[in-house]
């Protein structure tokens, strides 16, 4: 499978998109803005050329505002009292989301942007409550779902978008399994 250039390109591009989508998606879901990412994917194609130029910067910008973003997300009143501009953080975050979405739409399309931003992040939030491990898990899940989806598409000749969305949905569904176990089994 990896003998073909197009497959290598699919894995490389998919990995880059999955990393950005997982990281940005975690904060998107944490802030209850999942559908903002979906809406931006529909209008973001026009800005895709500019986004490609800025795409190397997306993770740098997210890292730069991560601390005040988490503070403003988890306790907005205290963050504002400490001098964090909630409006500025919200605008900067939506700019980061817009850049990430516009960049990803060219590579994976509208459906997968939503699936890769929301599915892995939502599952990660169910599996862990720690910020760093949650972001890392969201990125890891997005990459794993992308790789598995591309591999299954190669084997079955069905579209990668189908497989990636199915795998992402299955992982999110699996995040509910611990709640379904009897109380004694959870301990």
Q: For 64-114, what is each residue's pLDDT tens digit?
A: 888 888 888 888 888 888 888 889 988 888 888 877 777 776 666 666 777
Q: For 33-66, what is each residue's pLDDT tens digit?
A: 776 665 555 555 555 555 555 557 777 888 888 8
Sequence spans of domains, the chain: 5-176
pLDDT band at 183 (very low <50, low <70, confident <90, very high): low
Rounded to whole angstroms, the Cα distance separating 184 from 10 reads 44
Note the pLDDT of residue 181.
Answer: 64
Enumerate the H helices of 131-182 as residue ranges. Answer: 131-156, 160-174, 177-180
Rounded to whole angstroms, the Cα distance separating 17 from 96 reads 14
Rounded to whole angstroms, the Cα distance separating 20 from 128 reads 19
The per-residue pLDDT of the chain, averaged, comes to 82
Mean pLDDT on 12-31: 88
Note the pLDDT of residue 103.
Answer: 73
Q: Which two tokens stand for residue 144?
A: 């794993």
pLDDT band at 185 (very low <50, low <70, confident <90, very high): low
């Amino acid at each position: 499978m990896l003998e073909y250039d197009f497959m290598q390109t699919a894995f490389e591009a998919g990995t880059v998109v999955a990393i950005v989508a997982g990281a940005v998606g975690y904060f998107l879901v944490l802030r209850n803005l999942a559908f903002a990412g979906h809406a931006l994917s529909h209008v973001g194609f026009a800005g895709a050329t500019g986004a490609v130029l800025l795409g190397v910067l997306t993770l740098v910008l997210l890292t730069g505002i991560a601390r005040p973003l988490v503070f403003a997300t988890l306790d907005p009143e205290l963050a504002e009292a400490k001098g964090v501009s909630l409006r500025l953080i919200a605008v900067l975050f939506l700019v980061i989301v817009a850049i990430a979405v516009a960049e990803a739409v060219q590579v994976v399309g509208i459906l997968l942007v939503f699936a890769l931003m929301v599915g892995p992040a939502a599952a990660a939030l169910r599996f862990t409550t720690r910020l760093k491990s949650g972001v890392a898990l969201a990125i890891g899940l997005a990459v794993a779902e992308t790789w598995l989806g591309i591999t299954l598409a190669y084997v079955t000749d069905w579209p990668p978008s189908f497989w990636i969305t199915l795998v992402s949905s299955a992982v999110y569904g699996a995040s509910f399994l611990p709640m379904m176990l009897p109380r004694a089994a959870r301990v």
